[in-house]
Amino acid sequence: MFGKKKKLNLPSFPEVPMSAIPAEFYGETNPSIQFKSSPPLKTKPAGEKGAVLSKAEKKAFDKATAAGSGQKFHPVTLLSNRKFLIISGSALFLVFIIGASWYYWHQATSVSSPAPSTPAAQPVASVTPPAATPSTPLAPVVVSTSTPSANEVASTISSAATTSLVFPSSLLGNTVDSDQDGLTDAEEQLFKTDPKNAYTAGNGYSDSSNVYWLYDPTSKDPNARLIDSGLVEQYTNPVFNYKLYYPSSWSIAASDNSNRDVTFSAENGEQVEVRVFDLDPAQSFSDWFSVWAPDQKISDLVPFSTVFHYQGLRRSDYLVYYFADQRYRYVILYHPADAAAAAINYREVIKMMAHSFQPFGSSASVPSLGTTATSSVAVVASSTASSTISSTTSPSLGPLFPVNTTTSNS
């Protein structure tokens, strides 16, 4: 059973010749195939990249096959025209320049034009005649160097803003000046100079000249500053930030906590008062003057320049001074100890104080001795009429004095 297979009896098949592909397909017979003669292929020249076609041929081919070929105003035709591109590009550039110019011009004019209307927001209360308005002292407001809001300004209005100014008589003389150097004997005592020697310091300048130009009248060094002598101190108003020098031995008092009205008093009762008023840009100095100084003559005022080149006006007898910046008017005035006094002791002191005055936010160094600033005459009346309230923090009454303390013997 195993190991032996049964032999199958398969039927025998007849011999049948087989061929899958007819013989004619091998080229033996039909169909006959003929090849056309074709031009030889172009070979790439050595070093040239790209197609087989030459540049000129390719360009011609592209032109012939490009969309819009043959149509004069087809976008493709226009965009492939160099002349058209240059002209249209220039036109677009011109339009851009005109547009940009108009934009910046518009910006510039729209910024500057509303400026004059801004001051209108300033309260007009300070213009009101003094006696008319009852006053209530308000809480102090620290005014920042930025433009105050209407509320801030309104809250700083106090009795000091509405109390009328009291002007010293213009007939006041000076008390004794033994050495005729300009400082009264009382002032010589204040500045620790010799009342019998007009040139106490021996630095080449008279005692009064040293004091007026803020130099130490007791120092041989002509560059020694008055502020470093200990004879004076610099006062900075806590609300309005103006600064001035005052004799160290004098006392300071504010009429209320608005700090609009500050007095510096000598021991004998003579005083220098500094008052601050809100500046209404729409009101000229002469209009303001007629409201607040009705019994004063504007013709009695002359230009005055501080050591730091702030321009103002003073009464011809040096007892009243007017300054202004973009926001405030400042008045510095002298008060004798009693109304009946015929002579005063400290005219040179108020001169020194006014000469050292600086409006808010300003700083400068003491200039060289004897350098006068009287050549530039920007009067309060004209400078304030054109001024507008801006966000700038620096006062613009006049240029600051250059930082230069070289001395000359002029």
**Residue ranges binding Ca ion (CB under 5 A):** 177, 179, 181, 183, 188
- Closer residue to Ca ion, CB minimum distance, 179 or 270: 179
- Closer residue to Ca ion, CB minimum distance, 324 or 344: 344
- Closer residue to Ca ion, CB minimum distance, 181 or 261: 181
What is the nearest approach in angstroms of Ca ion to the Cβ of residue 186?
9
What is the nearest approach in angstroms of Ca ion to the Cβ of residue 231?
15
DSSP summary character for residue 297: -
What is the nearest approach in angstroms of Ca ion to the Cβ of residue 148?
44
What is the nearest approach in angstroms of Ca ion to the Cβ of residue 358?
28
What is the nearest approach in angstroms of Ca ion to the Cβ of residue 249?
18
Which residues, in sequence order, are bridge partners of residue 242?
none
- Closer residue to Ca ion, CB minimum distance, 179 or 216: 179
- As a whole number of angstroms, the longest Cα–Cα distance in the chain is 169
Round to whole Å and give the CA distance between 320 and 304: 11
Q: Is cis: bond before 294, omega within 30 of 0? A: no
Q: Cα 44 from chain centroid?
A: 71
Residue 362 corresponds to which tokens in the numbers above? Answer: 């300003």
Q: Is cis: bond before 137, omega within 30 of 0? A: no
Nearest partner of 145 among 346, 394, 356, 400, judged by Cα = 394
Residue 62 corresponds to which tokens in the numbers above? Answer: 């592209």
Long-range contacts of 197-205 (CB under 8 A, 24+ apart): 204/409, 205/369, 205/370
What is the nearest approach in angstroms of Ca ion to the Cβ of residue 190?
11
- Closer residue to Ca ion, CB minimum distance, 183 or 279: 183
Q: How many CA atoms lie within 13 A of 409 on its CB side?
A: 3
- Closer residue to Ca ion, CB minimum distance, 138 or 172: 172
What is the nearest approach in angstroms of Ca ion to the Cβ of residue 215?
16
Round to whole Å and give the CA distance between 172 and 398: 31
- Closer residue to Ca ion, CB minimum distance, 177 or 325: 177
